[in-house]
A and B are shown apart, each in its own frame.
Chain A
Amino acid sequence: MDNIPVTRSPNPDPVLRTEHLGCVVNEKILVEDVNFEVRTGEVLAIVGPSGAGKSSLLRLLNRLDEPTSGTVYLEGTDYRQIAPRELRRRLGLVNQRPFLFPGTVEQNLQFGPLQRGESLSKDAVDELLSEVGLKGYASRNVANLSGGEAQRVSVARTLANSPLILLLDEPTSALDETSKREVEASIQRVVRDQGLTCILVTHDTAQAARLAARALVLESGHVVRNGPINEVLHA
């Protein structure tokens, strides 16, 4: 596996920018005054201890939760002006648990395109599965997959929607070391081959160093550091 973080020169225009983003639920601050930007082709790691607000921040970016302050700009447009379904297609989210739908691997990959009346060709399905190292798995029942395989299907399912940005929420935290490395390899391959912008939430700083070029550290819902991965992690 290639352990060198993706260091492609990013586009100078931010593809995503948050402005004073915050969320308070039942008087508890989940995230407060978060400002950062991500450029096209960049891999940004969001790190921090448990309960720091990392997953809450990712849910705000995908607009699964509503910000109580601030907003997010996607390619310069306030994301509240984008239809939620289209926004979520463009900001593809991969959860900590894969939550595959009952059926075959291919049916899972077809789920997103079917929501907008499209379908993937057999070649497109095979290509997506090759990207995540699961060539030949299309007709397998998801009930028979290992944890690592299920998570890679989850990545492929999100990629089937052709997202602009891939949001990864602790994608390997429930996996053993071997499966974890397989998923990491799939992510690196996808980011490298497709030039995809990626925001990775992880509590594992070693994983952040392996996958990302830049990091943002969250503590108690606030950004405490933001910069190149080596500077931030060794500060």
Chain B
Amino acid sequence: MESSQPFCITHPESLRGKLARAERDGTLMGQVWASVRRRAQARPEAFPWFAPLVAVVTQDAQAVENARAAIRSYVSTFDKLGFTTGLHFHFWCFAFPHARWSLYFQWLQSLGAWQPEEERRLAQQIISFQFVNFFSGLRTKPEPECVDNQTMSLALSNGLVGHLFRRAPLGSSIAQRMYDDGARRLPSMLGGMPQSGYSGEGSTYQDFVVGPSVPFMVELLERAERGEWFARSLPPNGGSAESVTRMIAREWMPGGLLLPWDHYGYQLPCRSTIAYAGHRTGDPWFAELLENHAGWSHDVNIGWGSDDLVWSLIWWPERRGRHAGKVFPSWREPEIGAAVVSDDASLYLMQMWDPSTPVCPSRAHVNPNAIILSAWGSPLTVDGVPSRECTAFNFDDTWREVGYMDMHRRKFNFGSGCGGSHSVIIVDGWEGMRAGASYQQARLVEFDEAGSSVAADVTPIYRERWPDACRVVRRSRLCEGRFWLIEDLVQFEGEHDVAARWFFRSDVSEAARGFVIDTAEGVRLHFLPLVGPDVKTMKAIKGYPDRLDGGSVMVDFRQRGSECRWLWLAYPEQTREVREDISDGWQAMADADESLDYPRAVEKLRRSTLRLPFTQPAFMLSDVPVTRRWWYRRTISPPRGRRWWLRLPRQLGDARLWADGHEIDLQPHRLRMQLMAPHVEMPAANGDVEVCVSCTASVSQLERTGDIAQSFDGRPAILVPSDRCGLRAASYRDRIVTVETAAGRWRVAHELMA
């Protein structure tokens, strides 16, 4: 067993020094470390994933015992897991966390924390469990064809567990056997990725499984096989660990959400992969993302485990120099897509043309030239997956019946992966649009970062169904850093019904031309055709996406012909502005047994001497009890007699809000609050207002909502209407687009695509 140093922590003293300096200096890294340590020490049974790091860093006897207990608890689950459908049929989900628990076992071994008999027994249980479940699992995956998050998880776990136990003192032959198969496949896992670094499985899998597996693959290969494995481009596709991590950084949108690319949709990102990229490259861009654009309250499930913060702290680079470039630069990858971002990152457009899975697209959706728009951190368009109750995309020709792991036959509809559920061109009403075979489905035509434009030709995927398809091209431009022009050109030999389909946030209203959407975050988008007919249908889609607003509006603009063209203006504006940041100075109070009601709570709060920012749970900011429910109180000064909104942190659990003793209903915000800071419209005020909030924050890694354990973060503020709103006129004449608004007038030259 490799035991001299904790694996992946080459110099424990350096790590201890880094975290001690960070805590002493009160940096963000220091705050995160203190919050991890505080939670692990206060509720060790609820934060088992933090325990090994705290043991290694503090070397405190109780911390070491907590870590031992966590590993014993984990190993004790093996027996019953053997009877679960999860372990049998989703074995890869169990393999990756098993590898990390094995690694944590080794950390304690490096501290000399085990008695020999227990060490031997636990090691045998860990090796056996790996061998009978995940060695067989890896061999199930065809080599070399299978390169995906599942096989990465399996190859990594066999390689890592094998490496940890193949050497003296245990010198396990089983471990060596697992290492041989696992390590052999790791280079092709990295090299089998496209050069873009995008796995094609969707940003959630990319960010939560593929990305987090990369550091471990690299660290293992560099230790066991020697050489440099991070930047190296590998066969068969030329993929590299570095390209994966850079793509993950690109998936971060301004405002802190992941792109809703392919499967699953908008999500909060994980941080450890970014930390590792910063650690390896020294590029201050990654540190900039971590320190100024990441949330640190919530716990993200990486690789089916809750140790994102652990690995973030290990790899978080101590800052050396400022990042000079844009934090959210425009980018393009010729095979998959491009993003065009304004200099101040307020406007963000991503156009995608990544390959979709033929026949039955599930993860790699059919989204030729679909567009994601976001302004001032507020998503304008939606993508992702529908809720279970949503049947909007159960198209007639997208039903499939499969044997479910030999237990049941299951009929499902894969329409949500097809063209009809994306913001794309729909021809002759075929919503189940998909490829029937593998071929190059699209190509980049133009990308001009300076001119902020991108165009891609997606004709092949249309030509498969309609041989007379000549051109299906979409071009997007960011103009003056202030609005977008989006142009569609559809050319066939014969006439067809063509619809330009869009999915927008759910508050949509018709305008004299086009329509207007208003997001819950106070961003308005005017969307109208400057060229092409304004003939459209609008339909509310409840349950799509399954997050954010929990619904959307599908808009189909229609025309018929052999050549159909639209030139859209997409003009966003902020309808609210911050009047006052009220993050600081809140009276806070724990409600340990969750028994307080408003009258008693507010009385106690008024006497509370604990004052904290209402930006993160109190126990993450200060040495106070790690308690689930908290109350906050503050007197604020909203504008008199005007509309105003209270912006609260996102991810407030079970939140309730009172203003001068009157409760404000937060129900409409509950789902969206998981991703976005809620803007709560408040009653008109005639003077100061006493605001009181009751909320919960997760105090356990064993309870979670989906992939996230909720814990709030954000900056409360008073918002008021913006005065400079309104689109007055827009036109396209003589190759000039003219846009007149309350904020200004622009004239932009635009040549229609030939």
State whether these chains interact: no
Q: Which residues of B contact A (CB under 8 A)?
A: none
